[in-house]
């Protein structure tokens, strides 16, 4: 079963949180989020991320950003 409405709401809320947290425009936050692995995981119903919160997705996004900055 697809959870399209839940995902749509979560994506919107998470993008708003990213924009606020990183002082970005909504467009830039959206672009960054859609380039992350978090969005890929969210799109996969098997992960169950559609049942979490935008704050949880933000924390996953932040972990991904931190991990990638450690590699550079």
Cα separation values, 4 from 20, 22, 51, 56, Å: 24, 27, 11, 18
- Structure confidence at residue 33 (pLDDT): 97
* pLDDT score recorded for residue 55: 98
Q: What is the pLDDT of residue 62?
A: 97
Q: Give the pLDDT of residue 48.
A: 92
Residues of the chain with pLDDT under 50: none
Q: pTM for the complete prediction? A: 0.90
- Under DSSP, is residue 32 helix (H, G, I), strand (E, B) or coil? helix
Residue-range domain boundaries for the chain: 4-67
Structure confidence at residue 1 (pLDDT): 55
Q: What are the distances in angstroms from CA 6 to CA 25, 33, 36, 65, 66? A: 23, 17, 19, 24, 27
């Amino acid at each position: 079963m697809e959870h399209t409405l839940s995902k749509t709401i979560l994506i919107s809320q998470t993008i708003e949180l990213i924009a606020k947290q990183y002082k970005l425009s909504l467009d830039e936050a959206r672009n960054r989020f859609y380039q992350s692995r978090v969005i890929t995981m969210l799109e996969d119903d098997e992960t169950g991320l559609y049942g979490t919160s935008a704050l949880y997705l933000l924390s996953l996004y932040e972990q991904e950003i931190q991990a990638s900055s450690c590699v550079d």
